Amino acid sequence: MSAAARPSLRKRLLALLLVPVVAIIVGASFVAYSVALGYSDRAQDQDLREDVQAMGKMLQRSLRPGESLPDQARFLIQYQPDGMNFYSVRSERHGAVYGPSQHIPEGPRTGTLQAPALYDTRVEGVAVRAAAVAMPSVRDPSDRVLLTLAEPLSDRPARARQILMIILPILVAVVALLLGAMWWAVSVGLRVLDPLTRRLASRGDELRPVTALDVPTEILPLSQTIDDLLARLRDGKQLQERFIADAAHQLRTPLAGLSLNVERATSATGAVARDAALALLPPLVARMSRSCSQLLTLSRVEAAATAPPAALPIDLARRLPEHAGDALQQAAEAGVEFGFDGPPGPCVVTCDELGLQELVANLVDNAITHAGRGGSVTLGLRRPSGGREIVLFVEDDGPGIDEALYPRLGDRFFRAPGAPPGGSGLGLAIVRRIAGQAGARVQFSQADPKGLRVEVLFPAA
Ligand SMILES: Nc1ncnc2c1ncn2[C@@H]1O[C@H](COP(=O)(O)OP(=O)(O)OP(=O)(O)O)[C@@H](O)[C@H]1O
Ligand SMILES: [Mg+2]
């Protein structure tokens, strides 16, 4: 994978943070704008209130119908920097006293000089904020003068926007700083992995676990997965080493015999001596071939313990007679009577098919070998009533084996004293492992009246 395409934890964290951060900026801007708008509204209302009060005081005494506004008041109206656009001065008795043609609608209540009434209304289609003051005319005590000032509302958001424009860059700068701080924090935080990386890097071909107390909680699943992998590699390596040792152990003697007799045959001067040397070769080759095949089977079965093959339900009542067919031929060649004894009805267990075949072949091979010419062997199935187990058994009428040796049956290379030559001592080890993988137990007992009975007790599927 190229460096550009490799995912970066830092970039991913920041990218994930960007969405909430942008949402926070938008939200904070909205809140700032609303607050600024409220503030500007209050400030401008206050200005409007003060303006109408100032004008009111000026007009109260001087104004008569037809009179023009004092210069000072006109100045106040026309030269307002924030644009005081509308005004009207009306006497209750004499109507309009002074003012342009615009009509400012009256508000819901009339204010006084001390407390002007503020309200929203429209003048010539423009939304305005108006301040109204009603005051008695000093010149005509029976009359009242209504003074109204109004300014367009459209000016107001402008001030809020100005405030926002000041706040927004500060907000963005703070967020940028925060993201920078996060970038730094992630970089520094990731250094917590350094000891683990160093430990892994300093390994040669050691396969010890790497998980230690300094591994952070978040990384623990990863380091434990690495340890599981290392454990599997360790097992695989051990298997490999054992296989090599076993192979050397098993093949050394027949190979030495083989080379000795080949040498004898090639250097023999007479035909008799050569034939005698050559006659010793086939059993040696057969023994080597048996050892190789048993070694490979055992190593395959042991390797399967770490990654078991798919075990499927198998009906032993149907499958065993097929295996019995294979064994029949072998028994006939060995001059052994072979029988199959199975109950009616299915006997379903969970086992890998190839494993089952291997298991039966090894048990039957032992039974035929030990029964010997003229002997008999039975392969059978039993389903004890009420039991949750299905028993596969192989029984012969050979010499059997001393009960004290039962616990050793299944040890690698174990062969009882006096066992017929040619075996490698791995058959029952293979049987035990296959049975173990299927959750079954192997039991030995003495057959009636003599011989060995081997039972494999499978849990019923
Ligand atoms: N049916 C049996 N009757 C008596 N002894 C037996 C029987 N089956 C196994 N044994 C004893 O158990 C030993 C181990 O059997 P196992 O099948 O593991 O090895 P093997 O038959 O000697 O060699 P191979 O690996 O070629 O099968 C045998 O050598 C034998 O001594
Ligand atoms: Mg055997």
Non-local CB neighbours of 304 within 8 Å, separated by 6+ positions: 352, 355, 437
Residue 9 confidence (pLDDT) above 70: yes
The answer to whether 158 and 167 have CB atoms below 8 angstroms apart is no
Q: Are residues 445 and 383 in the same domain?
A: yes
Number of separate domains in the chain: 3
Give CA separation, 242 vs 61, 126, 245, 296, in Å. 120, 97, 5, 12
- Nearest CA-CA partner of 75 in 60, 93, 95, 55: 55
- Nearest CA-CA partner of 123 in 94, 103, 143: 103
The partner residues of 377 in beta bridges, in order of sequence, read 338, 396
Q: Are residues 91 and 148 in the same domain?
A: yes
Say if residue 449 is preceded by a cis peptide, omega within 30 of 0. Answer: yes
Q: Choose one of 366, 377, 415 to mutate for the ligand 1 pocket test, by most ligand atoms within 8 angstroms of C-beta.
A: 366
180-214: buried (b, 16+ CB within 10 Å) or exposed (e) per residue?
eebeeebeeeeeeeeebeebeeeeeeebeebbeee
432 CA distance to ligand 2 centroid (A)? 12
The pLDDT of residue 46 is: 93
Neighbours of 236 (CB within 10 A): 15
Give the type of residue at 288.
M
- How is residue 69 written in tokens? 């506004």
Q: Are residues 364 and 228 in the same domain?
A: no
Determine the distance from the C-alpha atom of residue 91 to the mean position of all C-alpha atoms in its chain, rounded to a whole number. Answer: 82
Within-domain flag for 165: no
pLDDT band for position 102 (50/70/90)? low
Which ranges in 307-350 belong to alpha helices (H)? 316-334
The pLDDT of residue 11 is: 82
Q: Are residues 222 and 95 in the same domain?
A: no
Q: Choose one of 415, 443, 450, 456 to mutate for the ligand 1 pocket test, by most ligand atoms within 8 angstroms of C-beta.
A: 415
Within-domain flag for 124: yes
Within-domain flag for 43: yes
Any atom of ligand 1 within 6 Å of the Cβ of 424? yes
Neighbours of 250 (CB within 10 A): 21
Within-domain flag for 170: no
The answer to whether 59 and 77 have CB atoms below 8 angstroms apart is no
Q: What is the pLDDT of residues 182-240, one digit of tens each?
A: 889 888 888 888 888 888 888 877 888 888 888 888 889 999 999 999 998 898 888 88
Q: pTM for this one?
A: 0.61
Q: Are residues 138 and 32 in the same domain?
A: yes
Domain of 413? 309-459
Within-domain flag for 63: yes
Q: What is the pLDDT of residues 27-79, one digit of tens each?
A: 988 998 898 889 888 988 998 899 888 888 877 666 555 555 666 666 666 54
**At 385, which CATH number?**
3.30.565.10
Q: Are residues 66 and 152 in the same domain?
A: yes
Q: How far apart are CA 42 and CA 37, in angstroms?
A: 9
Neighbours of 83 (CB within 10 A): 11
Q: How far apart are CA 44 and CA 152, in angstroms?
A: 11
Any atom of ligand 1 within 6 Å of the Cβ of 367? yes
**At 154, which CATH number?**
3.30.450
Q: Are residues 114 and 248 in the same domain?
A: no
Determine the distance from the C-alpha atom of residue 30 to the mean position of all C-alpha atoms in its chain, rounded to a whole number. Answer: 38
